[in-house]
Structure 1
Amino acid sequence: MQVKGVRLYGVDDIRLEEFELPEIKDDEILVKVISDSICMSTWKTVKQGANHKRVPNDVADHPILVGHEFAGDIVKVGKKWKDQFKPGQKFAQQPAIPGQMESPGYSYQYCGGAATYCIFPNDIIEKGCVWTFEGDSYFDASVAEPMCCVISGYHTNYHTVPGNYEHVMGTKEGGNILILGGCGPMGLGAVSYALAFENKPKRVVVTDISDDRVERAKQVISIEDAKAAGVELHYVNTAAMDDQEKELMDITEGHGYDDVFVYVPITGVAELGNKLLAYDGCMNLFAGPTDPKFSANMNLYDCHYSRTKILGSTGGTIDDMKEAINKAASKEIKPAVMITHIGGIDAVAETTKNLPDIPGGKKLTYMQFDMPLTAIADFRKLGETDPLYAKLADACDKHNGLWNVEAEKILFEHFGA
């Protein structure tokens, strides 16, 4: 069948084009892709081409489909999987395949999210990395991958029990959490999860250096929302502080932070987080640095005498991904806090190539129609001349400016998707 997709040929060479999708084999599944969220990892892949560890060396001759944060509908099932999957079911997927480097959106000619249709090969299905879900939206499943990484961070942190060698996994129940650089898309996902995690904290403090980002954060996850969930939430602009260490410590009445997440790879931020650790505190370098020599001064005296710990986390497990989707479906978390822009398949290539220069959070694209990449914040202005954007603005206004199920359905009805 003829399909459209965005394919990688080499460094800075991705193209939206039509190509022939082969008939599926008995151990494969054909899917219709509905939504795909564009990840910074894809931009990094485009900048590296065949030098990327997940991209085949012959990509120039056999281009791969990009996009790994995608969801949609199952269309056709090979006979090996007919007892497990049925046409018409919604699918979700985990792009980090256990035991192999090959991954959707990086390694396969016919498996990637930036396409109208794609094929899941047997190796992905056998590893349990494709499953069905019953949610009322597609976008929640698309942004489940970044949410999965957030969840993994919470599960990766650990604490100790004096007198034995037991490690208690997860952030500290009833403790203080500090999310440094946390008013961006991933940080807001972390705030949302903090309100739903079984190890519910007493207090969450979120920092940024932009008043605009802080104000948007307060809008989409309010202090009142957190209070209703039993959590004390603070948003602070550290750029306005005279003494960041003292003022952040004062919020905890001098206790310090049991769990610190560093969401920006900046030396000074990591060093600040380390200084604010409580006894038995755990600091997670969540933001991935691009400099292989990235380093910072850490207090090893506290590491020895105060049992402080430093670690990093990236990616997540299949269970983390399923938790993200299930909690989104049950409205326990709000992955939509990450999304700031909406577009169609025609917006994928240029958006990916220019991703670091486009402000805001996650860019969510829909594969079954064309639509320019558009900031949700611009819907109301555009709605003055375009009825579609007026409807979208109304729907988002009902949800604190967030993308939502109603808005998604408006798009589907308008484009006949």
Structure 2
Amino acid sequence: MKTKAVRMYGADDLRLEEFELPEIKDDEILVKVVSDSICMSTYKLVKQGKKHKRAPQNIDTNPVIVGHEFAGDIVKVGAKWQHEFTPGEKFAQQPALNYKGCLNSPGYSYEFFGGDCTYCIIPHEVMELGCLLHYNGPSYFEASLGEPMSCVIGGFHSNYHTNKRNYDHASGVKENGALLIVGGAGPMGLGAVEYAVCLEKKPRLVVVTDVSEERIARAEMVVPVSKAAEHGVTLKYVNPNKMDDQYEGLKALTDGKGYDDILVMAPIRPLVELADSLLAFDGCLNFFAGPTDNKFSASINMYNTHYISTHIMGSTGGNTDDLVEALDLSAAGKMNPSVMVTHVGGLDCVADTTENLPSIPGGKKLVYTHIRMPLTAIEDFRKLGEKDELFKKLADSCDRHNGLWNSEAEHLLFAHYGLDG
């Protein structure tokens, strides 16, 4: 079985290549990858190369397939797993493996297992850990986006609160509390807003900050304040640069009480320190953003930690339960992960997109691995549609779905390229 894949040979060295996959073993599964969304974590991997904690030291001779937010179809099942998986069924997968203390993960560590490819081999440890999931949703992209949404969900579950009666910790954001999402109009921040609104035990107030008016405008369109209100949540989008005093302005939105939960979505020291100062009694700050600098630090008010029980923690990735929750919420129509997506492309755009990810505006970049298509912003579909019937159809479809990528658009893409799906 030949595959086309984007492989990393070292720092800033990505190559799109075609090569032969080995025959699967009895404890492995061959899959067809259909969709993958590009993660900032992959950009960090590419910048660090061998220095990345998940990257093997022999990637110059045994390159790894990049990409870890992927979904597709099962093609061939080894004898050990034929009682559980069937060729032709869709799959989703949890890339955060923890196999006997090993840090290996698809998209970082494996020669034949990753998301930016046409076909790959899923190794035995994925099934043994229960990280290969059956998926019956109508579209592949929602399964791909289940992984970043699981990271958001994991972040919410990781927050905790205490009480003065005993030493029990209650996990999750505080019900009817005030939640601040700092730098929250990007893809992960919008995922967090979408999840906060659909929670059963949801916050009363959600404040989202961003310094880009363009990002705020898009956020207000895809997760409207009116939608949050229908679910009993007061949602406010704020540009703190327009405030005379950011601390006073943001705290005033809570009637001076401060925030019970804060997610910091950007690794910027002043933002972390501002967030720390805005915590209410027993407030929890989750440093969600992953810095590339291993010496990144910020000052914390230890007086508040001692006397008003503020606490700081961080979360990265999600577990399998988080992914199942993400897929279930999407399938039930309670949560729309496509709020993250602003661009769509094919396998041929992956290397360049990944290497330049921070400089490309917008949110998630979604790729379909069996097509050739330059990375294209959804907002550009209408203009391109003046000369290209495909983009006219895609623009019409996205317009019918509040400007968002959707299952109908995915099937239009498949039909145009003659793909199954």
TM-score (norm 1): 0.98
- Asked whether the equivalents of residues 16 and 351 of structure 2 are also in contact (C-alpha less than 8 Å), the reply is yes
Identify which range, 39-48 or 232-241, moves more after superposition.
39-48
Distance in 2 of aligned mates of 1:76 and 1:290: 38
**Paired residue type of 1:388:** L
* Aligned twin of 2:117: 115
Distance in 2 of aligned mates of 1:205 and 1:309: 20
Q: Alignment partner of 1:143: what SS? A: helix
Match of 2:390 among 371, 388, 391: 388
**Paired residue type of 2:37:** S
Match of 1:238 among 224, 237, 240: 240
**Which digits, 9 at most, give the CA deviation of each residue in 1:84-131, with x for residues without a partner?**
101111101111102321111111111111111111011221111111
- Asked whether the equivalents of residues 282 and 308 of structure 1 are also in contact (C-alpha less than 8 Å), the reply is yes
Alpha-carbon shift at residue 235 of structure 1 (Å) = 0.5
* Aligned twin of 2:360: 358
* Aligned twin of 1:217: 219
* Aligned twin of 1:184: 186
* Aligned twin of 1:406: 408
**Paired residue type of 1:70:** F
* Aligned twin of 1:82: 82
**Paired residue type of 1:25:** K
Distance in 1 of aligned mates of 2:269 and 2:44: 21
Match of 1:321 among 316, 319, 323: 323
Superposition pairs for residues 193-212 of structure 1, below 5 Å? 193-212=195-214
Distance in 1 of aligned mates of 2:70 and 2:217: 29
- Asked whether the equivalents of residues 5 and 17 of structure 2 are also in contact (C-alpha less than 8 Å), the reply is yes
Distance in 1 of aligned mates of 2:174 and 2:148: 22
**Paired residue type of 2:131:** C
**Paired residue type of 1:301:** Y
* Aligned twin of 1:283: 285
**Paired residue type of 2:195:** Y
Alpha-carbon shift at residue 52 of structure 1 (Å) = 2.1
* Runs of 4+ deviating beyond 4 Å: none
Distance in 1 of aligned mates of 2:255 and 2:115: 47
Distance in 1 of aligned mates of 2:150 and 2:15: 29
* Aligned twin of 1:49: 49
Distance in 2 of aligned mates of 1:162 and 1:9: 53
Distance in 1 of aligned mates of 2:216 and 2:11: 36
Alpha-carbon shift at residue 309 of structure 1 (Å) = 0.9
* Aligned twin of 1:69: 69
User: Is 1:336 aligned to residue 338 of structure 2?
Assistant: yes
Distance in 2 of aligned mates of 1:45 and 1:32: 24
| Structure 1 gap ranges (5+) | none
Distance in 2 of aligned mates of 1:389 and 1:179: 34
Distance in 2 of aligned mates of 1:303 and 1:49: 38
**Paired residue type of 1:356:** P
- Asked whether the equivalents of residues 225 and 235 of structure 2 are also in contact (C-alpha less than 8 Å), the reply is yes
Alpha-carbon shift at residue 270 of structure 1 (Å) = 1.1
Q: Alignment partner of 2:316: what SS? A: coil
**Which digits, 9 at most, give the CA deviation of each residue in 1:225-257, with x for residues without a partner?**
001111110011111111111121111112211
- Asked whether the equivalents of residues 398 and 405 of structure 2 are also in contact (C-alpha less than 8 Å), the reply is yes
Q: Alignment partner of 1:103: what SS? A: coil
- Asked whether the equivalents of residues 44 and 292 of structure 2 are also in contact (C-alpha less than 8 Å), the reply is no
- Asked whether the equivalents of residues 170 and 199 of structure 1 are also in contact (C-alpha less than 8 Å), the reply is no
- Asked whether the equivalents of residues 182 and 264 of structure 2 are also in contact (C-alpha less than 8 Å), the reply is yes
**Paired residue type of 1:17:** E
Alpha-carbon shift at residue 56 of structure 1 (Å) = 1.8
Identify which range, 283-292 or 211-220, moves more after superposition.
283-292
Change (3 A) 1:274 1:394: same
User: Is 1:22 aligned to residue 28 of structure 2?
Assistant: no
User: Is 1:373 aligned to residue 375 of structure 2?
Assistant: yes
Q: Alignment partner of 1:273: what SS? A: helix
- Asked whether the equivalents of residues 176 and 259 of structure 1 are also in contact (C-alpha less than 8 Å), the reply is yes
Distance in 2 of aligned mates of 1:199 and 1:298: 29
Q: Alignment partner of 2:70: what SS? A: strand
- Asked whether the equivalents of residues 185 and 339 of structure 1 are also in contact (C-alpha less than 8 Å), the reply is yes
* Aligned twin of 2:351: 349
* Aligned twin of 1:251: 253
* Aligned twin of 1:175: 177
Alpha-carbon shift at residue 39 of structure 1 (Å) = 1.1
Alpha-carbon shift at residue 60 of structure 1 (Å) = 1.6
* Aligned twin of 2:271: 269
Identify which range, 216-225 or 106-115, moves more after superposition.
106-115
Match of 1:159 among 146, 158, 161: 161
What fraction of aligned residue pairs are identical, expressed as a percent?
A: 60
Alpha-carbon shift at residue 46 of structure 1 (Å) = 1.7
